[in-house]
């Protein structure tokens, strides 16, 4: 009886430890992503292509938005991937910034930063980005035009908000 209780306690302890482990993002091949972007005449969505190449989609495009001002062209959607990854894209309006939101399972902060830096390197921008005070926002050194990446954390998720524009 004591052995059964001990085994049960050890099993629960092991389950608790494994449940607390962070999700591991697959490494970004910045050179490959940049080459694909340039080859597509700057039309490839770098972040979406990364997820489509590295994680199995569990949905097609959901919540599709159409921009009436731009001839009903698709301007926003959500797509889901394995591990509970949710990617949302929004670029509706002629001068609107590109907004992307990535919800991941809880991920180690150092790994999130490395991923953000890799994705940014895949963008052919000449704008130098740096980590701002607080270390959860990565944006243009001069805090002007460019792409901003902001990390938010909840109990179970790591969220990256991306904003690119003027």
pLDDT in tens, the chain (166 residues): 555 554 444 444 444 444 456 789 999 888 888 788 777 666 778 999 999 999 999 999 999 999 988 788 999 999 999 999 999 999 998 888 999 999 999 999 999 999 999 999 988 788 899 999 889 999 999 999 999 999 999 999 999 999 998 7
Contacts of 20 (CB under 8 A, 6+ apart): none
* CA distance linking residue 120 with residue 60, whole number of Å: 25
CA-based nearest residue to 30, from 99, 120, 146, 100? 120
CA-based nearest residue to 93, from 117, 60, 68? 68
pTM exceeds 0.85 for this model: no
């Amino acid at each position: 009886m004591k052995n059964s209780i001990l085994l049960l306690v050890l099993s629960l302890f092991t389950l608790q430890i494994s449940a607390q482990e962070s999700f591991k993002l697959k490494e970004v091949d910045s050179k490959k992503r940049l080459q694909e972007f340039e080859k597509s005449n700057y039309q490839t969505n770098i972040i979406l292509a990364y997820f489509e190449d590295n994680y199995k989609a569990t949905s097609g495009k959901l919540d599709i938005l159409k921009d009436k001002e731009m001839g009903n062209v698709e301007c926003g959607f959500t797509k889901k991937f394995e591990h509970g990854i949710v990617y949302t894209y929004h670029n509706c309006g002629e001068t609107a910034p590109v907004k992307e939101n990535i919800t991941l399972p809880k991920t180690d902060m150092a790994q999130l930063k490395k991923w953000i830096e890799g994705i940014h390197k895949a963008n052919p921008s000449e704008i130098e980005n740096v980590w701002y005070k607080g270390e959860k926002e990565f944006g243009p050194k001069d805090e002007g035009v460019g792409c901003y990446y902001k990390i938010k954390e909840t109990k179970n998720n790591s969220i990256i908000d991306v904003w690119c524009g003027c």
